[in-house]
């Protein structure tokens, strides 16, 4: 997997979206929402609505449409219990808890949450319930050095040093732990005052969360168009991130950051059914409800050469589109066991930097390879597209979330005050997107126009979509 050298940041109206690139090549998209139904890593005030002894889990109201699942394994931390116990001994109906999102809701399954709370900084991770320590993805001597340094600086505090901590001085780490402790007190105070279950804000801005997730040794530049995000990023780069010497690039504030940086065009290509393989050939990617099917067309290349090149592109496209579950890849047939081993080694290298756990099974005699990749949140396909609302066929159209992001961005950049909008998009803004729409609703005069197609809108300056 290629190294990440650039981060392009776009304001979405719901929060921020970051595009991670290796030069001009798009590697990954990360979303951090301040509003909406994103669950992963977010903190919630929850109320236990039901305890299921047979399932050994509890269902929690966290303020979303569906209850979240808390297993007994994940319920023990708030009680300070190390060993596993039955769920009925750990929680009771009506109890209020602070929980953190583990997994997004998928189809008919609600989100999954935990009481093993983790407050992430740029250089360290702190568990307020005192479990730890552990380190991040660093290996071998580097990992051991981080562990020893963390134990020396923060004995018995539940602190784990991230791989980026090697670049900074002890004083920076101590100051970061103090900020995380202050944030925890803020979350506790908010939960104590909150009357209904729901997301806790604390003081964690989406841009800070994005930069925490995206920070990597190879990252060199951060590119931003939005003025408010630019100022916030500059403050972070001059403060807690100063040791990393990251360059901040100011983009044209009147245009979308993704459009002017080439990310928008890369995203369109990434979501297509056919993906070209560098050097020749193509991938045909077919997500289904049961699994993701990928066919490798070598385009006349030597089988092993085509398959090894395809392995790299498959790893990139799965990470970029956040496709998980079972992935079945039909490679070009390889005749010898030695060639199949070469391909398996190439796949292992290609997925080495994938942030999601990946399991690769040996190639069958017919050229099939099964890849298991952990599901983490919505796929890019689900986030940005939907089944065609006009014909109900197999084609895809921009999702209402994608249309809302485009509209919110235009309203922010142009200052338009009058809007004609399709009925389905209006319902979406008033429903799931109400938190993102609320800051603009007072100044924008909105009228539903039945002549507009699904997801359509027209601003008063004639900028229609």
Instruction: Identify the band that residue 397 occupies on the pLDDT scale cut at 50, 70 and 90.
Output: confident
Average pLDDT, integer, range 238-267: 94
Q: Cβ(34)–Cβ(83) under 8 Å?
A: no
Average pLDDT, integer, range 134-141: 58
What is the reported pLDDT for 315? Answer: 95
Nearest to 283 by CA among 329, 232, 248: 329
* Residue 137 clears pLDDT 70, i.e. is over it: no
* Residue 456 clears pLDDT 90, i.e. is over it: yes
DSSP structure class, residue 164 = G
End-to-end, the C-alpha distance of the chain in Å comes to 36
Task: Classify domain 1-34+205-269 by CATH number.
Answer: 3.30.420.10
Q: Cβ(22)–Cβ(4) under 8 Å?
A: yes
Cα(393)–Cα(375) distance, integer angstroms: 26
DSSP structure class, residue 109 = B
Average pLDDT, integer, range 317-325: 92
Task: Classify domain 43-114 by CATH number.
Answer: 2.40.50.140
Average pLDDT, integer, range 301-313: 95
Cα(6)–Cα(164) distance, integer angstroms: 17
What is the pTM assigned to this prediction?
A: 0.81
Among the residue ranges 7-21, 41-55, 151-165, the one predicted with the least confidence is: 151-165
Residue 444 backbone phi and psi in degrees, to 5: -105, 125
Q: pLDDT tens across 183-223, in order? A: 999 999 999 999 999 988 765 789 999 999 899 888 999 99
Higher-confidence residue of 202 and 426: namely: 426
Cα(35)–Cα(172) distance, integer angstroms: 31
Cα(114)–Cα(75) distance, integer angstroms: 6
Q: pLDDT tens across 220-232, in order? A: 999 999 999 999 9
Cα(394)–Cα(338) distance, integer angstroms: 40
Q: What CATH fold (topology level) applies to the domain 388-459?
A: Hypothetical Protein Ychn; Chain: A, (3.40.1260)
Instruction: Identify the band that residue 369 occupies on the pLDDT scale cut at 50, 70 and 90.
Output: very high
Higher-confidence residue of 383 and 203: namely: 383
Instruction: State the CATH architecture for 271-373.
Output: 2-Layer Sandwich (3.30)
Q: What percent of the chain has pLDDT over 90?
A: 64
Q: Cβ(283)–Cβ(317) under 8 Å?
A: yes
Among the residue ranges 62-71, 387-396, 456-465, the one predicted with the least confidence is: 387-396
What is the reported pLDDT for 133? Answer: 46
* Residue 392 clears pLDDT 60, i.e. is over it: no
In the chain, where the domains are located:
1-34+205-269, 43-114, 271-373, 388-459
């Amino acid at each position: 997997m290629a190294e990440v050298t650039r981060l392009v940041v776009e304001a979405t109206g719901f929060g921020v979206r970051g595009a991670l690139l290796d030069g001009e090549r798009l590697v990954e998209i990360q979303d951090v929402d301040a509003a909406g139904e994103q669950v992963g890593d977010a903190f919630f005030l929850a109320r236990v609505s039901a305890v299921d002894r047979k399932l050994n889990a509890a269902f929690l109201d966290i303020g979303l449409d569906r209850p979240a699942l808390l297993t007994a394994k994940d319920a023990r931390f708030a009680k300070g219990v190390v060993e596993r116990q039955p769920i009925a001994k750990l929680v009771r109906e009506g109890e209020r808890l602070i929980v953190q999102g583990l997994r997004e809701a998928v189809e008919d399954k609600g989100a999954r949450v935990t009481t093993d709370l983790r407050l992430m900084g740029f250089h360290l991770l702190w568990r307020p319930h005192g479990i730890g320590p552990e380190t991040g993805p660093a290996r071998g001597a580097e990992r051991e050095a981080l562990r020893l340094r963390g134990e020396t600086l923060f004995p018995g505090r539940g602190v784990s040093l991230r791989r980026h901590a090697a670049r900074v001085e002890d004083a920076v780490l101590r100051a970061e732990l103090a900020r995380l402790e202050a944030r925890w007190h803020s979350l506790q105070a908010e939960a104590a005052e909150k009357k209904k279950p729901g997301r806790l804000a604390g003081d964690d801005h989406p841009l800070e969360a994005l930069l925490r997730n995206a920070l990597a040794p190879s990252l060199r530049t951060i590119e931003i168009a939005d003025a408010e995000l630019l100022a916030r990023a500059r403050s972070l780069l001059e403060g807690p991130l100063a040791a990393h010497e990251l360059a901040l690039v100011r983009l044209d504030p009147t245009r979308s950051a993704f459009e002017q940086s080439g990310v928008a065009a890369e995203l369109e290509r990434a979501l297509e059914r056919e993906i070209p393989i560098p050097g020749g050939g193509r991938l045909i990617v077919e997500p289904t409800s049961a699994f993701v099917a990928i066919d490798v067309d070598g385009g006349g290349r030597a089988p092993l050469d085509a398959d090894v090149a395809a392995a790299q592109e498959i790893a990139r496209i799965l990470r970029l589109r956040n496709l998980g579950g079972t992935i079945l890849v039909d490679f070009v047939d390889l005749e010898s066991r030695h060639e199949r081993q070469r391909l398996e080694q190439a796949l292992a290298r290609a997925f080495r930097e994938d942030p999601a756990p990946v399991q690769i099974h040996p190639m069958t005699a017919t050229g099939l390879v099964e890849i298991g990749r952990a599901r983490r949140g919505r796929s890019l396909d689900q986030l940005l597209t939907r089944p065609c609302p006009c014909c109900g066929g197999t084609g895809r159209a921009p999702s209402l979330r994608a249309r809302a992001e485009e509209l919110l961005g235009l309203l922010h950049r142009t200052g338009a005050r009058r809007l004609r909008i399709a009925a389905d998009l209006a319902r979406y803004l008033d429903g799931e997107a109400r938190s993102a729409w609320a800051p603009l609703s007072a100044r924008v005069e909105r009228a539903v126009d039945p002549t507009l197609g699904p997801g359509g809108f027209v601003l008063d300056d004639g900028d229609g979509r």
